[in-house]
Amino acid sequence: MLTILNDRFKLYDNFELINDDVLKVDLKHLISQNSEFENVKVVANLPYYITTPIIMKLLEEKLNLKSITVMVQKEVAERLTETPGSKNTGSITYSIHYYTEPKTVLEVPKDCFIPSPKVDSSVINLEVLPTPKINVLNEEIFFKVIKYAFMQKRKTLINSLCNSGISNKETLEKILIELGLDLRVRAEQLTLEQFGKLSDELT
């Protein structure tokens, strides 16, 4: 494949093929060393088993990106683009909405491929925001709260966070009451803004 691609694009001086592991490449350096790089966009068919690590690397490193357009497993796409506070959300949903405006571009049935895989796919577009959608006092605590909240998704939010050791039950109950939330609320029922306020109180 490398030989074919290099041969195909050898006449183009604006093409460079990098054969490396995207999770190990210093993307920030790669982009910054090319001063002509403006409006950088990522377009890819991601390996489904490392979809989340790749997307989170692109977002957490705060690269100078305009958008990320990728094909992923349909079930994952639904979770990534779901509205925070809905039933199908996961911790990744909140990270995606914190950094981007996500949407599904098109569905790709499994019979579009030869050989046919076992799952359907979707192409999603993540328009990277110039600044995060909400302001939080401490990003590290914000994402830690969300991570722990979803580690025991079937439990109430209070129990999940208590079990993680992030705070005690009395403090959490007081914060939820101040935020006007039911003490039996579960992680997937909170909006992005509510997680932000919760993390600020814990900060």
Whether 170 has a pLDDT exceeding 80, the answer reads yes
* 164: in domain: yes
Question: How much is the pLDDT for 48?
Answer: 87
Same-domain status, 124 and 177: no
- Strand pairing category for 65-73 and 100-108: unpaired
Other CB atoms within 10 A of residue 163 CB: 12
* 12: in domain: no
Same-domain status, 173 and 110: no
Cα separation, 31 vs 24, whole angstroms:
14
Q: Pick the last residue of a domain from 94, 128, 162.
A: 128
* 191: in domain: yes
Same-domain status, 99 and 154: no
Question: How much is the pLDDT for 103?
Answer: 97
For the record, the structure tokens of 76 come out as 């994952």
Which residue, among 198, 63, 84, has the nearest Cα to 137 in the 3D structure?
A: 198
Mean pLDDT of 11-35: 87
From 16-25, 92-101, 190-199, the region with the lowest mean pLDDT:
16-25
> The CATH number of the domain where 24 resides is what?
3.40.50.150
Q: Pick the last residue of a domain from 69, 93, 128.
A: 128
Same-domain status, 44 and 79: yes
Same-domain status, 24 and 65: yes
> The CATH number of the domain where 176 resides is what?
1.10.8.100
Mean pLDDT of 149-168: 91
Whether 37 has a pLDDT exceeding 80, the answer reads no
Whether 2 has a pLDDT exceeding 90, the answer reads no
Same-domain status, 185 and 108: no
Q: Pick the last residue of a domain from 76, 106, 128.
A: 128
From 2-16, 64-78, 116-130, the region with the lowest mean pLDDT:
2-16
Whether 152 has a pLDDT exceeding 70, the answer reads yes
* 88: in domain: yes
Whether 180 has a pLDDT exceeding 80, the answer reads yes
* 14: in domain: no
- Check residue 131 and report its DSSP letter: S
* 11: in domain: no
For the record, the structure tokens of 32 come out as 């910054």
Same-domain status, 94 and 160: no
Which residue range is the domain that position 36 belongs to? 19-128
Same-domain status, 166 and 189: yes
pLDDT in tens, 63-114: 989 999 999 999 999 999 999 988 889 999 999 999 999 999 999 999 998 8
* 3: in domain: no
Question: How much is the pLDDT for 35?
Answer: 64
- Check residue 65 and report its DSSP letter: E
pLDDT in tens, 44-61: 999 889 999 999 999 999
Mean pLDDT of 143-170: 92
Question: Could you tell me the pTM of the whole model?
Answer: 0.90
pLDDT, greater one: 127 or 154: 127
Number of domains in the chain: 2
Same-domain status, 113 and 35: yes
* 5: in domain: no
Mean pLDDT, the chain, rounded, equals: 93
Same-domain status, 54 and 91: yes
Percentage of the chain modeled with pLDDT above 90 = 73
